[in-house]
Amino acid sequence: MLAVDAPRTFDVAAARLLAGKRDTAASLADALGALAAFAGRADLRDGLVLALGRAGATHVVLEPSGTATVLRLDGHTWRFERDDSGAVTGMKRDGVPVAMTMLATAHVALTEGRVWTGGGLAFTRLAGAPRVAIAAGPRVRVLGSGVLDVVTAPAPGPDLIVEADLEIKGGPAGLVVRAQPTTRGFQGLSLLVVPGQPAHVVLLVADGSGTETAMGPAMEVAAAPTQHVRLALRGDSLNASIGAADLSTSLPDVLSRGDVGLRAYPDATLDVTGWRVTAFRGR
């Protein structure tokens, strides 16, 4: 598992530890020690280094027994907590006891349905056949199966501000405002992020017939694990920011009202944290 996907391996071990199962965390510490003995290399800047799947480990510190106790992986410092006998009793990330909200790949099962609730949030299927999960945090995950997969929540009014942190993998995904169902899908305006090196962001208007029109050229944004998006909508004017990119457009008259939501293209996974929707109060 470490050779294929090290960050996911740590998430699995931490999630099982939180469920009261310590063996996986202990096995992880042992495996890291074995890799250090057989495949580790010393670096003047990064200390003991291990080449792992999807992310390398640096600054690896070993117990006298040879098992790992501290290391840095994917931008975070992990520590295995032990009792007097040396048994693993806990894990910390960046000095804080690990919690489910820290684990990007640990999530409740994605399900099909019409309504999903959790963490004080509620989303309803607007179009398509998305699969959704809401985990503690709250964190919302949407897996797309078709281009028109959309889930929505009631908007506080036609004028609003949406803020969220988006992690997108596998294809385009993002936010939708002024969304309404139609017989052939939905109508609304989408802010879609296309992952890549670099990533791109584009504004699209869906007219309800299955056709979408770009409201300007796609803009480059620096690739990042998580993209913070802020979208402000008042009247027919929309302004949005993502990373260093700023976008604006005027909405057609037909998009005068509707709900706010999330969408994901086929096989795209959208993870959303920091979801906040408020009524627009500015001038």
DSSP secondary structure of 58-81: EEEEE-TTS-EEEEEETTEEEEEE
- Which domains, ranges and CATH numbers included, belong to the chain? 6-102 (no CATH), 115-279 (2.60.120.560)
Report the mean per-residue pLDDT for the chain.
Answer: 92
Average pLDDT over residues 248-268: 95
Q: What is the pLDDT of residue 212?
A: 94
- Per-range mean pLDDT, top range of 12-16, 189-193, 197-201: 189-193
Distances (CA, A) of 9 to 48, 78, 104: 20, 13, 11
* Contact assessment for residue 201 and residue 218, using Cβ atoms and an 8 Å cutoff: yes
Average pLDDT over residues 177-196: 95
Tell me the pLDDT tens digit for each residue of 122-172. Answer: 999 999 999 998 876 788 999 999 999 999 999 999 999 999 999 999 999
Contacts by residues 119-122 (CB-CB < 8 Å, ≥ 24 positions apart): 121/153, 121/275, 122/153
Enter the pTM of the model: 0.67
On the question of pLDDT at 108 being above 70, the answer is: no
